[in-house]
A and B are shown apart, each in its own frame.
Chain A
Amino acid sequence: MKWDEFFVTGEPMIYGAMASIVLVSLAILVGLTYFKKWGYLWREWLTTVDHKKIGIMYILSALVMLFRGGVDALMMRTQLAGPDMKFLDAQHYNEVFTTHGIIMILFMAMPFIIGLMNVVIPLQIGARDVAFPRLNAVSFWLFFSGAMLFNISFVIGGSPDAGWTAYFPLASLELSPTVGNNFYSIALQIAGIGTLMTGVNFIVTILKMRAPGMKLMRMPMFTWSVLITCVIIVFAFPVLTVALALMMFDRMFGAQFFTMANGGMDMLWANLFWVWGHPEVYIVVLPAFGIYSEIISTFSRKNLYGYKSMVISMVAISLLSFLVWAHHFYTMGHGAMVNGFFSVTTMAIAIPTGVKIFNWLFTLHKGRIQFTTPMLYSLAFIPIFTIGGVTGVMLAMASADYQYHNTMFLVAHFHYVLIPGTVFAVIAGMYYWFPKLFGFRLNERLGKLAFWLIAICFNVTFLPLFFLGLKGMTRRMYTYSASTGFGPLNLLATIGSIGLAIGFAVLVYSIYWSFRYEPRDTTSDPWDARTLEWATHSPVPEYNFAVTPNVKSLDAFWFWKKDKQPLFEDKIEEIHMPNNNGQPFVLGVIFFFFGFFMIFSWWTPAIISGIAIVVMLAVRSFERDHGRHISVKEINKTEQQLRGDKA
C-alpha cells in the first residue's frame, strides 16, 4: 500500500483536519507534561473502576462525538442549502452522511446514555458500585478504542461510504473496495463487545445489588428503564456481532454471505442489520423515557402517575421492538401478508408509548411545575416527540410507506424521534445530575438560552424535511437541480441547522462558564428530588453511601424528607471496594491496534496483537485481586469533611 492510499488526500478540508488533530494531540501531551498531570491522569482516570468516573468519561467522549457528528451534519446541510452546490463532492458527501449516522447513534447517543447509567444507577439503587467494576472499565475502553478507530478513518484510509446501514452489495468488496467499510465492521465490532458487556453488567447490578427493601416495584423509573434496555442489549447486540463478523468474512476473507455472486444474499444483511437496528432505537429511547420520568416527577413535586402502567408499557415496547424490523424495508417485495403483519406490530408500539405520554401529562396534573432547564427539555420532549410518534404511525402503514420510504419524510421522522427522544433527554439528564457529580449546578440562564435556541431551531431544521419528502426528495442525495423545487425548504432547514449549532455552542459554553463562576451548591439535594442518589453527598464519595439505605417504599428518600420515614438505620461499617487497575486501558489500546491491523489486513501484526489480547485475558484469569477495605475511621473522616464543607 502506498502512502497516498494510506492517508486520505486531495481535500483542503481534510488537510486542515489532519493539522488540527496533530496540533490538539501535541497540545494535550505538552499540557499534561507541563502541568505534571500524567500521574493524576493514570491514577484517577485511566485506571479507575469507579462507576462515577467511568460515567464522566463516557459523557465526555459523547460530547466530543456530538461535536464530530454535528460538524458532519453542518457539512451536509451546507451542501444541500441550494441547488447544485459544490461544497462537497459525491464521494465526500457519502462518507459524511455515513459517519454522521454511525457516530450519532453508536458513539454519541449510546455512550451518553451509558454514561448516565453509570453515574446514576448504582446511586439510585443504593449500591457501592456496579456488579463487575473492572468489566465496566473494560466496556468503556473497548467503546473508546472502537470510537477512536472509527474516527481516524476520515484521515487514514477513508471513511465508510455505504450509509450507516451499509447495505450489501453496495458495502461489499466488489463495489466498495477501499478500507472504509472495514472500519465499519471492525470498529463497530469492538465497541459493540463493550456495549454487550455493559448490558450484562447492569442487569446483574440492578437485579443483585439493590439496597435492602428495594423490591422491583420500588425501583425508580430510570432504573427500570435501564434494566429493560439492558435486556434488549443482551438480545439485540449478538445479532450485530454476527452480522459484522459475516461482513468481515465477506470483505477480508473472500466469503460470500451477502455478495451478488455465488449465492450470496444481500437481503440477509438488511434483515440482520435491522433485527439489531430496530431494538437499537429503543435502547437509546427507553432510558430517555426513564430520565424524563424522574425529571417530570421531581419538578412537578409529585410522584410519577401510573407507575405500574409505565413499567408494563416499557416491557411491552421492549417485546414489540423485536417484532417490527421488516418495516425498514417494506419495499423489498415480501408481499402484502408480511407487510401487513409488520404494519400491525409497528403500530401497536404506539399504544404503550401513548400510555406513557398520558401518564407524564397526568404527572403534571395538580403538580407544582417549576421550569428549570432539565424540566424545559423534558417538557419540550412531549409535543415534539409526539410529532415523531404520529409520523411513525403514518410510516408504519405499508401502503403509504411505499411513498415515504427512503425520502426526507423518513429523515424528518427519525430526527423527530431521536432528538427529542434521546438528545434532549441526555442533555436534561446532564443538567439534572450534574450537581450530584460536581457539587454545583450548570448555569440556568445560559442553560435556558441554549434550550430555546435548540428547541426552536430543531423544528426549523426538521419540519421542512417532511414536506421535502412528500415533494419527492430522497435521502442521501448529495445534490439536486433547481428544477426540482427543493431549494427553498432546504435553505430553511440549513438556516435552522446553523441555529441548532449555535444552541449547542451555548450549551458547551454554559458548562465552561459554570465550572468557573457558578456558585458552589452546598446541599446534596438541590432540586428537592425524590430518589436515593440525592440522599448522599455531592460530590459523591467513592463509596457512594457511608451506610446502606433501607428502602421501605417507592421514592423512599422523599418520604424520609417529608414523613421522617427512617432510611439510614445501620451503623458505619468497613466498606469493601474494588482496586483500580490498568489492564482495561491496556486492553483497549491493544484492541485499537488489533482492529487497525485487521482493517488494513496487515496479518502479522494483527496476529501478534490478537495473541496479546488472549494473553491479557489469561493474565486476568489467574490474577487474585480481592479489593481493598476502607476503615470506619477513614469513612468517618471523609463524612466529616463532606459535612464540614457545608458549614
Chain B
Amino acid sequence: MKKKGLLLTVFTALLVLLTGCDSLAVLNPKGPVAKTQSDVIIFSMIVMAVVLLVVYVLYIYMLTKYRASKAAPDYEPPHEEGSKWMEITWTIIPVIIVVILSVVTIRSTNAVETTPVGYEDQKPLIIYASSSDWKWHFSYPEEGVETVNYVNIPTNRPVQFRLYSFGPITSFWVPQLGGQKYAMSDMVTKLNLVAEHEGSFVGKNSNFSGKGFAHMDFEVLAMSPKGYTDWVNEVKQTAPALTEAEFDSLLEADHLGRKSYSSTHLTFRPAPEGANGGHNHGSSDADSHNEADKEMDHSKMDHSKMDNMDHSKMDHSEMDMDNKENDHAQHGN
C-alpha cells in the first residue's frame, strides 16, 4: 500500500539523514555555531518524526478499518458532534510540544547570535565581508589585508564577520561553520563564527542576487593560528596595496578569481555603519536629525552622480537595529 510505502520512505530518509551526515554539510559541523544548529535540527527532526508517526498510525488505522468495502452492507455511520476531551487532548499536546520547541529555539537563537560559549574571553578577529555583483571582498582592518573570494581564519578563535553589500541583498553562508545572515547596502550585520577544525569549507551567497548568483561562492580556509599569522605576513610583504581605482575596477568586474592586497578598502570606502550608515531612525546622538531636516540632508548629497556605491559618503547615524544588536552581544558577554 502506498501509505505504508510513504512511511517507509520517511523512515529510510531519516535513517540516511542520521547516519549519512557527512555528505549533508549542515549536519557535519566544524564549529560551535554550526554544532548548536545541527543539534537543534536533529532534535526537532526526532520530535517531528514522533508527531508524524502518531498521525500516520491513526491514519492507517482509520483507512484500513473503516473502508466501505469492509463495512456491513447496512452499516450507517453514527452522527458524532465531536468530543470535548479528545479535542482538548489534541490541543494541549501540540501546545506542550510547541512550548518545548520554543524554549529550545530561544535559547539556541541567543546562543548563535552571540560569541560562542567558551570563546567569550578572546578578542574576536574582525573581518568585514562585503559582496558586490558577484564577488565577496574580505577586509581585515586589524591586519590591514584584503582578499577577494577567499577568506583565511585561525582556528579556535572567534571571528566576527561584519557583513554589507555594494549591491543587492546577499546572504553570507558557510554551512559547516554556521547559519547565514544577510549583507545589505545600508547597514552592517554581524555574524559570529568559530572554526574548531582546520580545513577548507565552502562559503556562498544564498540569497538570489541576479545573473551571476550561482557562481558567487568562496573558500573559507581555517588554519592553525601560526599558519594564519604566517599567511598574513606573507600577504603584507608580497601583495600590492589596494588603491581606490583598483577597488573600483574590482567592483565593476562580474566575476573575479582570488585576489590579495596589503591594505583594505575600508580606509577610503568605509562600511555603512556608525556615522556612515544608510539610515537614521532617530537615535539620540548629536548628528541625528528629525523628519524636517531630512530633506535638507538629502539636498547635500551628491545627486548628480546617483552612484549607488556612494553610501559611505552619506552622513547618517547608526541604525537602531544595529545598536540593539550590539546590546544583545554585550548582554551575552
Q: Does A associate with B in a complex?
A: yes
Which residues on A are within 8 Å of B, measured CB to CB?
90-91, 94, 161-163, 167, 169-170, 174-175, 259-267, 270, 300-303, 305-309, 329, 331-337, 339-340, 343-344, 347-348, 350-351, 354-355, 357-359, 361-362, 364-371, 379, 382-384, 386-387, 390-391, 393-394, 396-407, 452, 455-456, 459, 463, 466-467, 469-472, 474-480, 485
Q: Which of A94, A335, A343 has a CB less than 8 Å from the CB of B321? A: A335
Which one of B144-152, B182-190, B229-237, B260-268 is at the A interface?
B182-190
Chain A nearest CB from B207 CB (Å) reads 5
Contact present for A368 and B68 (CB under 8 Å): yes
Q: Could you tell me the dominant secondary structure of chain B's interface residues?
A: helix
- Extra contacts, 16 of them, besides A350-B94, A402-B180 (Cβ < 8 A), are A90-B211, A329-B182, A333-B181, A333-B325, A340-B105, A344-B105, A355-B91, A366-B78, A368-B77, A384-B6, A394-B41, A399-B37, A399-B40, A406-B207, A463-B13, A472-B202
Contact present for A261 and B310 (CB under 8 Å): yes
Contact present for B25 and A471 (CB under 8 Å): yes
The complex places the Cα of A362 from the Cα of B211 at a distance, in Å, of: 51
Residues of B within 8 A of A406 (CB): 171, 173, 180, 206-208
The complex places the Cα of A397 from the Cα of B41 at a distance, in Å, of: 9
Knowing A359-B82, A393-B44, the reply to whether A364 touches B110 (Cβ < 8 A) is: no
Contact with A along B291-328 (1 / 0, CB 8 A): 00010001001010011101100101000010011001
The complex places the Cα of A386 from the Cα of B6 at a distance, in Å, of: 12
Residues of A within 8 A of B190 (CB): 333
Q: Which of A270, A303, A355 has a CB less than 8 Å from the CB of B80? A: A303
Contact present for A175 and B211 (CB under 8 Å): no
Residues of A within 8 A of B45 (CB): 394
B79 CB–A CB distance under 8 Å: yes
Contact present for A170 and B87 (CB under 8 Å): no
The 9 closest A-B CB pairs, nearest first, are A402-B179, A333-B189, A306-B82, A390-B48, A170-B168, A399-B108, A406-B206, A364-B62, A476-B208
B71 CB–A CB distance under 8 Å: yes
B102 CB–A CB distance under 8 Å: yes
The complex places the Cα of A403 from the Cα of B37 at a distance, in Å, of: 7
The complex places the Cα of A387 from the Cα of B205 at a distance, in Å, of: 28
Residues of B within 8 A of A370 (CB): 68
Contact present for B168 and A480 (CB under 8 Å): no
Knowing A301-B77, A302-B79, A336-B328, the reply to whether A357 touches B37 (Cβ < 8 A) is: no
Q: Which of B51, B102, B301 has a CB less than 8 Å from the CB of A262? A: B301
B15 CB–A CB distance under 8 Å: no
Which one of B53-61, B122-130, B240-248 is at the A interface?
B53-61
The complex places the Cα of A265 from the Cα of B45 at a distance, in Å, of: 37
Residues of B within 8 A of A463 (CB): 9, 13
The interface centre, meaning the residue of A358, A383, A406, A472 with most chain B CB atoms within 10 A of its CB, is A472
Q: Which of B27, B55, B82, B111 has a CB less than 8 Å from the CB of A382? A: B55
The complex places the Cα of A418 from the Cα of B221 at a distance, in Å, of: 40
Contact present for A343 and B82 (CB under 8 Å): no
Contact present for B66 and A393 (CB under 8 Å): no
Contact present for B169 and A169 (CB under 8 Å): yes
Residues of B within 8 A of A300 (CB): 66, 77
Closest to A169 in B: B168
The complex places the Cα of A186 from the Cα of B163 at a distance, in Å, of: 34
**B:269-284 near A, CB below 8 Å:** 278-279
Q: Which of B55, B109, B113 has a CB less than 8 Å from the CB of A343? A: B109
Contact with A along B200-223 (1 / 0, CB 8 A): 001011111111111000000000
Interface size class of B (residues with CB under 8 A): 35 or more
Closest to B210 in A: A170
B256 CB–A CB distance under 8 Å: no
Contact with A along B60-81 (1 / 0, CB 8 A): 0011001110010001111111
Contact present for A170 and B169 (CB under 8 Å): yes
Contact present for A397 and B40 (CB under 8 Å): yes
B226 CB–A CB distance under 8 Å: no
Contact sample, A vs B, 30 pairs, CB 8 Å cutoff: A175-B168, A260-B167, A261-B310, A263-B316, A300-B77, A305-B80, A329-B182, A333-B181, A333-B321, A355-B90, A362-B80, A362-B82, A366-B77, A368-B68, A368-B71, A368-B76, A370-B68, A387-B52, A397-B40, A399-B109, A400-B37, A400-B44, A404-B26, A406-B180, A455-B2, A456-B2, A459-B6, A467-B13, A471-B24, A474-B205
Contact present for A175 and B167 (CB under 8 Å): yes
Contact present for A266 and B186 (CB under 8 Å): yes
Chain A nearest CB from B315 CB (Å) reads 11
Q: Which of A90, A170, A265, A331 has a CB less than 8 Å from the CB of B182? A: A331
Q: Could you tell me the dominant secondary structure of chain A's interface residues?
A: helix
The complex places the Cα of A357 from the Cα of B93 at a distance, in Å, of: 14
**B:1-38 near A, CB below 8 Å:** 2-3, 6-7, 9-10, 13, 16-17, 23-27, 34, 36-38
Contact present for B209 and A347 (CB under 8 Å): no
Contact present for B44 and A261 (CB under 8 Å): no
Contact present for B24 and A170 (CB under 8 Å): no
Chain A nearest CB from B50 CB (Å) reads 10
Contact present for B80 and A260 (CB under 8 Å): no
Knowing A366-B77, A368-B71, A393-B44, the reply to whether A474 touches B184 (Cβ < 8 A) is: no
The complex places the Cα of A358 from the Cα of B82 at a distance, in Å, of: 11
Residues of B within 8 A of A474 (CB): 173, 204-206
Contact present for B180 and A331 (CB under 8 Å): yes
Residues of A within 8 A of B213 (CB): 90, 476-478
Residues of A within 8 A of B173 (CB): 406, 474
The complex places the Cα of A377 from the Cα of B105 at a distance, in Å, of: 35
B178 CB–A CB distance under 8 Å: yes
Knowing A261-B310, A383-B59, the reply to whether A402 touches B23 (Cβ < 8 A) is: no
Residues of B within 8 A of A347 (CB): 98, 101-102, 105
B116 CB–A CB distance under 8 Å: no
Contact present for A335 and B80 (CB under 8 Å): no
Contact present for B27 and A470 (CB under 8 Å): yes
The complex places the Cα of A329 from the Cα of B182 at a distance, in Å, of: 9
Residues of A within 8 A of B325 (CB): 333, 335
Contact present for B58 and A361 (CB under 8 Å): yes
Contact present for B206 and A467 (CB under 8 Å): no
Residues of B within 8 A of A386 (CB): 51-52, 55-56
Contact present for A367 and B77 (CB under 8 Å): yes
The complex places the Cα of A167 from the Cα of B210 at a distance, in Å, of: 11
The complex places the Cα of A334 from the Cα of B51 at a distance, in Å, of: 31
Closest to B62 in A: A364
Residues of B within 8 A of A266 (CB): 169, 184-186
Chain B nearest CB from A411 CB (Å) reads 12
